[in-house]
Structure 1
Amino acid sequence: MRTSFDFTPYRRSTVGFDRLFDLLETASRTDPIDGYPPYDLEKVGEDNYRITIAVAGFRPNEIKITAHQNHLVVTGRKGGDEADDQARYLHRGIAGRGFERGFQLADFIEVESASFENGLLSIALRREVPEAMKPRRIEIGAPANDRGLLPRLLGKKAA
C-alpha cells in the first residue's frame, strides 16, 4: 500500500523548487508494478551513464527515443498485422506489446548515442556541466583598503 505525501507546506515556504516537488509527486503517483520492459541503469564513468532496455521482439525501426528538456521517453510499437501473427504462433511467450518508458534526467545530462544489439537497446548518457556552472577556486588576496593598515598601526606612512 502506497500513501501519498502532501508537499503543500513545503511549497509555501520555498522558492524555485517547484520542479523538484513536481518530480516527487509524479514519482509517488506512478505504478511501479509494471516492469515492462525491464531495464538497467548503469554508471559507466565519472560523468557517463547507460540505460539498457530489454526489447526482445522489436526491431530498431519500431522503437522511438525522444529527449526533451530533462525527460527521456522510449516508445516501442510493433508493426505488422496482428491477425497474421495470431495465425502463425502456436505459443507466444515473448512479450511484443507496445510500451512507453520514461526517465527523468538530472540537469546537464544529455543523450550521447543509442545502439541496438541482441534485443537490447543501450542509451549512452553524459553529464555536461557548463564551465560557468562548475566550481572554481578563488584566490585570497589582501583587500585593497587594508594595504596600508599595518604601517598605520605601527605609526609609519604607507609607501
Structure 2
Amino acid sequence: MTKLTLASYPHLLGFERLDQLLERTAKSSDGYPPFNIEQTSENTYRITLAVAGFSESDLSITVEDRQLVIRGRQRDDTEGRVFLHRGIAARQFQRSFVLADGVEVGEAQLENGLLHLDLSQPRPDAVVQTIEINKGKRG
C-alpha cells in the first residue's frame, strides 16, 4: 500500500515540510495535561493547559523549529513522607503544538493551576506579483 503525502499531489509545490510537521504532530503526547485552544479575536488565540501542582520553576516553554513545546517536571519532595494513599502523582510531561508561519507566541501566565499562552498571527499583506514573459530563444 502506498502512503499518500502532500508531495504526492503535483499542484502542491513546496509542502514537503508540512508532511513532516503533520507526522510529528500525530506522534505527540498521551493526553496529559489536558488543554483548551480558544480563538480570542480574529488573529489571536489562547492555549490553556491544566497544570495543577506545577510552579513556574517546574515549567519551561520553548519554540523549536516552528513547534511550541511546553514541558513540566516536578521535583520529588516525598522524602520522609508516608502516604496512606497517593492519587496525585508527581508527573512530568511534554506537550507540543505545531505553529503556522507567522504565528508569534506572546505572554504566558500561570494562575489557579492553569497555564495560559497567548498567540497571535498578524494578517499577512496581500501580495500580487506579475511575471513577465520573455521572448526569445531558450538555451
TM-score calculated relative to the size of structure 2? 0.77
**Correspondence for 2:125:** 134
In the TM superposition, residue 79 of structure 1 has moved relative to its aligned partner by 1.4
In structure 2, distance between residues paired with 1:31 and 1:126: 23
Deviations 1:103-125 (A, max 9, x none): 00111111110000000000000
* SS of residue in 2 equivalent to 1:65: strand
Q: Measure how far apart 1:9 and its partner are.
A: 8.1
> Normalized per residue, which structure has more helix?
1
Aligned residues: 128
SS in 2 for 1:24: helix
Q: Quick check: 1:121 aligned with 2:112?
A: no
Q: Which region of structure 1 is more displaced relative to structure 2, 17-26 or 119-128?
A: 17-26
Correspondence list, 1:98-117, <5 A:
98-117=92-111
Tell me if structure 1 keeps the 8 A contact 2:54–2:74.
yes
RMSD of the alignment, in Å? 2.8
Q: Partner residue of 1:24?
A: 22
2: distance between equivalents of 1:39 and 1:8? 29
Q: Which residue of 2 aligns with 1:6?
A: 3
What is the CA deviation profile of residues 59-87 of structure 1, one whole-angstrom value per residue up to 9, with x for unaligned ones?
11100000134110000001134444xx3
Moved more, 14-23 or 103-112: 14-23
* TM-score where L is the length of structure 1: 0.69
Runs of at least 5 residues in structure 1 that lack an aligned partner in the other structure:
138-159
Contact in 2 for aligned 1:7/1:21 (Cα 8 Å): no
Question: Displacement of 1:8 after TM fit?
Answer: 5.3
Q: Which runs of 4+ in 1 moved over 4 A?
A: none
Match of 2:136 in 1: none
